[in-house]
Amino acid sequence: MNQGSDRLPSYRLENVNPVFPGNGNAARRVLWLMTKTFAWLIFFLTLTIGLNAQLQQACSLIGQTPQTAFPVCGTSAFIQSTVPYCGIKEIPVPGCSGVQGVTYLDLNPYWYKFTCFSTGTLGFTITPNDLGDDYDWQLFDITGHDPSEVFTNPGLFVCGNWSGSSGLTGAAAQGVGKVQCASDPRAGVPTFSKWPTIIKGHQYLLIVSHFTISQSGYSLSFGGGSASITDTVQPHLKSVYASCDGKQLYVRLNKKMKCSSLATNGSDFKIGAGAANVIAASGGDCSLGFDLDSLHLSLDQPLPPGQYTLVAQDGTDNNTLLDNCATPIPVGEQVSFSVLPLQPTPMDSVQPLSCKPGFVRLIFRKLIDCHSIAIDGSDFSIAGNLPVTITGAAGDCSNGLTDHIDLQLSSPIYMAGIYQVTLKTGSDGNSIIDECGQETPAGATVGFQSYDTVSAAINFLVHWGCRQDSIFLQNNGGPSIISWQWDFQDLPGSNLQNPTVIYNEFGDKTIHLTVSNGVCSDSAAVLVSLDNALKSDFETQALLCPADKASFVNHSTGHIAGWNWNFGDGTFDTNEMPNDHNYPNNPMADKYYPVTLTVTDSLGCSDTATRIVKKLHSCVIAVPNAFTPNGDGINDYLYPLNAFKADNLIFRVYNRYGQLVFETTDWTRRWDGTLGGKPQGPGTFVWTLQYTDHDTGQRVVQKGSSVLIR
């Protein structure tokens, strides 16, 4: 059922309870709807049931969780024809979460992952199949983080849009703000946010959340920004090693490649010289995601010790392996490997470290027997620039074997340094034993390098101005920082370490900074209040009768240090609120006086406002005894003169037959001597005038006659 703009706008916004899917304004709207018609009651119950169904179902399909996200390459377009119901986890949205009780959930989501290969802006568009549907999204920088941290770590936030409005959404140059919070769809909150700047080498996750209670899908397309998310690294076979019995090959690739491009019958590969045939292939991560970086190949017979080559070829699926940009491993590419007589597996390498690592991952050429790993970490010791100890060790023990061992550290390594891991005999009486039953001799070592953490702390100094303010920004977050990305909201950003930003409009300005040393990154924000706007404004009477005095009400704003009133008659005042002012009378003509107020602040800035006061020569209300409507601009109309203070006025004109020819309640609306657009002949016309005197409150009734002269 497509609810369009009439769906309840608030069950995403507020904490859901068993009775109403919202509170505050949303609950009031629900109650209003329930009182309108029984049909609206059914509508409300349908929405509640649909919401509860979504909130009670965990997201378990591939692509619905951060760990199983779709890999993105370049301007790839994704078509989701349907969106299954699910969603139970809250997502932190900095600047939005918790405001007015609002929470944000992964409602009916799909996730997408990509790497930035060239720093720049990222643009994308989400187009609902039903333009009445409301889709939301949020972008995370997960560099060095587990994807599941998107549910707990607000620091991974890059930008997002949770607007309640329906239709197209995404990130674009003309987008508004870094994030749009949840809203009533009637509020017209923008659905496009300002496209973010993404950083080369960083990994990102994008969630597309389907708020509307329907399963209608969408399309997602990337493009328009200056950043590149197209992987230009060519796919290749990286390494191969054989199992102990020579019947299994374990292949590593140089990058992630599509599971769908792997022929499971093993026909994508052959053994050089025909020593054996590959009869089956499987990807290590394909049961949990869309791409793989390692393979398991089964052979029809064991390979004896010796040197061999594994060769890539087009399989029965008509391709070799394809990366996420659909680039194939070249046909004929080969990698050499050895089938060795049984011997211990050496310490191989350390997986590149993330920022402030709490563990070190050791990589081995052969699988290690998990039962040989001392869980207290006593098989290993560590030494380096700073004191740190190993408190535990474990592998990813599928079928009792693992190709890596994670060493848990007593504390994260926050500073740059060189470290060495040494293998020793552990508390279990051995070092480590590989899948072939061979123990690696104690004393083997492997080294690694750690990196400094960085800080995006912002220092600033404001240079105050009269028409614009300059903010001098500074970051001293560490000598290893190689990139600074400043976001100034609606102004162009900067990649300088210490930039200056100039604002021509005053008010609160939020400045964001993201820094990185290529491994560690950090983000910070600062609110700068540019409250030095100065505006002169005052209120006074536009018209004054001869006996009236002018009064003034000062509405000026800013940090005002001085006031200068010029009343236009050669007199002045420097008080904030001047006394009533008496202008001289001129019995012959009206007089105009320009009144100005100039305000100044402590910076020497000033602003001036001007109002015109008209001093009338007379406020005696009278109707002329003759008028000449000939268009010469002199005495062309009949009306009550000087009726400035006539309240509830009624003015009527009659011809000699008693016919009403003109009537008005606005004294400035004048009779031009016509009736129904036809000029009346010369003669005498009778008039009546009624009004209430504004000053005395007395009701006045007058009548008389005037002569129309042609």
Write out pLDDT tens, residues 25-36.
333 333 333 333
Compute the distance between CA of residue 633 and CA of residue 625 in angstroms, rounded to an integer: 17
User: What are the boundaries of each domain within the chain?
Assistant: 4-222, 237-339, 364-450, 459-530, 538-615, 626-708
Judge whether 237-339 and 538-615 match in fold.
Answer: yes
**Cα angle 189-194-197, degrees, rounded to a multiple of 5:** 155
Q: What pLDDT score was predicted for residue 134?
A: 94
Compute the distance between CA of residue 19 and CA of residue 48 in angstroms, rounded to an integer: 8
3-state DSSP assignment of residue 41:
helix
Does the structure show a pLDDT above 80 at 52? no
**Cα angle 537-539-540, degrees, rounded to a multiple of 5:** 140
Closest-CA residue to 591 (of 573, 609, 569): 569
Is 124 within 8 Å of 221 (Cβ atoms)? yes
Listed in sequence order, the residues at least 6 apart from 594 whose beta carbon sits closer than 8 Å to its beta carbon are 568, 610, 611, 612
Q: What pLDDT score was predicted for residue 71?
A: 93
pLDDT tier for residue 215 given thresholds of 50, 70 and 90:
confident
Does the structure show a pLDDT above 70 at 306? yes
Q: What pLDDT score was predicted for residue 101?
A: 75
SS3 content of the chain, % helix, strand, coil (to 5): 10, 40, 50
Q: How confident is the model over 262-282, as a mean pLDDT?
A: 94
Q: How confident is the model over 412-417, as a mean pLDDT?
A: 92
Is 623 within 8 Å of 641 (Cβ atoms)? yes
Architecture of the domain spanning 237-339: Sandwich (2.60)
CA 56 to chain centroid: 28
Q: What pLDDT score was predicted for residue 56?
A: 52
Pull the structure tokens for residue 425: 């005999």
pLDDT tier for residue 458 given thresholds of 50, 70 and 90:
very high
Listed in sequence order, the residues at least 6 apart from 701 whose beta carbon sits closer than 8 Å to its beta carbon are 688, 689, 690
Q: Which residues of 266-291 are buried (b: 16+ CB within 10 A; e: fewer)?
A: bbbbbbeeebbebeebbbbebeebbb
Q: What pLDDT score was predicted for residue 72?
A: 92
Q: What pLDDT score was predicted for residue 95?
A: 85
3-state DSSP assignment of residue 599:
strand
Q: What is the pLDDT of residues 353-376, one digit of tens each?
A: 888 999 999 999 888 999 999 999
Name the amino acid, one letter, at 345.
Answer: T
Is 384 within 8 Å of 418 (Cβ atoms)? yes
Concatenated DSSP letters of 604-649: S-EEEEEEEEEE-S----B--SEE--SSSSSS--B--BTGGGEEEE
Q: How confident is the model over 260-287, as a mean pLDDT?
A: 92
Least confident of 19-23, 95-99, 211-215: 19-23
Residue 581: DSSP 8-state: B
pLDDT > 70 in the chain, percent: 92
Q: How confident is the model over 648-660, as a mean pLDDT?
A: 95
Pull the structure tokens for residue 686: 């009778």
pTM above 0.85, yes or no: no
Q: What is the pLDDT of residues 8-18, one digit of tens each?
A: 333 333 333 33
Least confident of 3-12, 63-72, 200-209: 3-12
Q: Please provide the size of the chain in residues.
A: 710
Compute the distance between CA of residue 220 and CA of residue 126 in angstroms, rounded to an integer: 5
Pull the structure tokens for residue 240: 């191969």
- Pairwise pLDDT comparison (637 vs 74), residue with the higher score: 637
Is 136 within 8 Å of 106 (Cβ atoms)? no
Q: What is the pLDDT of residues 372-387, one digit of tens each?
A: 999 999 999 999 998 9
The mean predicted confidence, pLDDT, of the chain is 88
Name the amino acid, one letter, at 601.
Answer: D
Q: What pLDDT score was predicted for residue 27?
A: 36
Q: What is the pLDDT of residues 561-596, one digit of tens each?
A: 999 999 999 999 999 999 999 999 988 899 999 999
pLDDT tier for residue 655 given thresholds of 50, 70 and 90:
very high
Specify the CATH superfamily of domain 459-530.
Immunoglobulins (2.60.40.10)
Does the structure show a pLDDT above 60 at 21? no
Is 425 within 8 Å of 373 (Cβ atoms)? no
Does the structure show a pLDDT above 70 at 108? yes
Compute the distance between CA of residue 644 and CA of residue 647 in angstroms, rounded to an integer: 8
Does the structure show a pLDDT above 80 at 324? yes
3-state DSSP assignment of residue 333:
coil
Q: How confident is the model over 146-172, as a mean pLDDT?
A: 94
- Looking at CATH, the fold of the domain delimited by 538-615 is given as Immunoglobulin-like (2.60.40)
Least confident of 79-88, 132-141, 632-641: 79-88
Listed in sequence order, the residues at least 6 apart from 37 whose beta carbon sits closer than 8 Å to its beta carbon are none
Architecture of the domain spanning 626-708: Sandwich (2.60)
Strand order, beta sheet including 380-384? 380-384, 417-423, 445-450
Pull the structure tokens for residue 74: 């370049």
pLDDT tier for residue 58 given thresholds of 50, 70 and 90:
confident
Pull the structure tokens for residue 533: 């706007």
3-state DSSP assignment of residue 297:
strand
